[in-house]
Amino acid sequence: MPLERDIVIVGGCAAGMSAAAQARRVDPSARITIYEKGSYISYAPCGIPFFISGEVKRLEDLIHFTPEQFSEQRKVDVKVYHEVRKINVGERTVEVVDLKNSREFKKSFTSLLIATGASPVVPPLPGIDLEGVFSLRSMEDALSLKKYIEDKKPQKAVIVGGGYIGLEMATALRQIGMEVALVEMKEHLLPNLDEEITTIVERECREKGVELFLGESLLGLEGDGKMLRVQTTARKMDCDLVLLALGVRPNVHLAREAGIPLGTTGAIRTKPNQETEIPGIFSAGDCAETRHIVSGKPYWFPLATLANKQGRIAGENMAGGMLLFPGTVGTQTTKVFELEVGITGFSEKEARALGYETASHTTRTSSNPSYYPGAQPITMKMVMDVETRKVLGVQMVGRKGVAKRIDSAAVALHAQMTVDEVAWLDLSYAPPFSPVWDALIHCAQSLRAKTI
């Protein structure tokens, strides 16, 4: 008699929904239940800054499926406003609270996926709960911020945090006419990148009217219902909106309380099949640890592309398949005003912190031949391991063509290529797209010549 699978998924965003869809493809007869404590499932949180700016007109445009649509099309039982409070590993059950009806019950499972995502870092500082202070992670966060902007019409915002979300939101708020100041505790924006790249981003922000206060930490907030005052280690600033963009932490409370081991990164430790150390219990997405292909070490990378892939792997295996996730090289891109910024692999400071002896080279080339209209400069930095000559990471910034090239670099890192191999890649050429010596190849050739 075939195994009757009862699959339970905790979390209804990227990893959870991908897992449910794949499990259904593999096993049409499995019982699949998704518990999501919020009201939205299957949405694109990475699109929220573009909703705030007005480039995405409706919040609904960020939703891939409503609970009703997913239930109907995938034959999956989707339960919103249902919070899983406890995992009982021994008896293979979860304890669930129906938040609308204040009802508690247990649900058994044969396979369980923990896809609880991550939450914004909100430090316990004075005034952090004042009206007009926001963090931005969920659809509910997006609606609250949009409504506040429409109702209160704030004129000046202070963003705390100079990472990807902070910069995307600085861009969005400037586009809708607000004054923006940005506070970052490190000496440069995008602290995981190297200075050759970040200084260009900083210049762009200042040229677009963003005040930058670098090397300053948030101490607290004050407010009187109309005005907010931000206190940093160096100054006080008045504003009428504060956005906290201090990064995220993996939501691992459920796993920790159930005795499911965490990894060295603080996220849930998983095997290549996305299974935890407990047989039959899987984890995927922003709460799960993975492996960095370049270093071979545990890595935590909270991004939707990774969550979708891990979720598909987990769904396949919970339904009886045997897929393995190879890991990540940490590829990431963002748009800051007119600039495209990309990184794959490690920056030089990250690589050195991991113990590599590095060599690097930075080039300033062009997106197209100079004679072709619209050519724009691209600044690129390539980092290599001196011992093996393998490429450890590539960073780049420019107004055109960065996203195309960072993907080529990511493929090279997946293949663990040396700088000598990258230097002779057969990349596409035509004047509208690239010079004869593409920027990636030019950078690799320069680094090769510097180190042979």
Question: Mind telling me the catalytic residues?
Answer: 46
Q: What is the dihedral of CA 257, 261, 265, 270, to 10 degrees?
A: -120
**What is the SS3 assignment for 309?**
helix
What's the rounded Cα separation, in Å, for the pair 437 and 25? 44
CA distances from 203 to 53, 90, 136, 206, 378 (A): 21, 56, 25, 5, 15
Nearest 10 degrees: CA dihedral of 362, 193, 303, 44? -90
What single-letter DSSP state applies at residue 275? B
Distance from C-alpha of 426 to C-alpha of 257, rounded to nearest angstrom: 51
Residue 345 to residue 295: CA distance in whole angstroms? 9
Tell me how far CA of residue 148 lies from CA of 141, 154, 195, 240, 343, in angstroms: 11, 8, 36, 10, 34
Question: Do 106 and 95 form a contact (C-beta atoms < 8 A)?
Answer: yes
Residue 442: enclosing H or E segment and its boundaries?
helix 439-451
Report DSSP state, residue 45: G
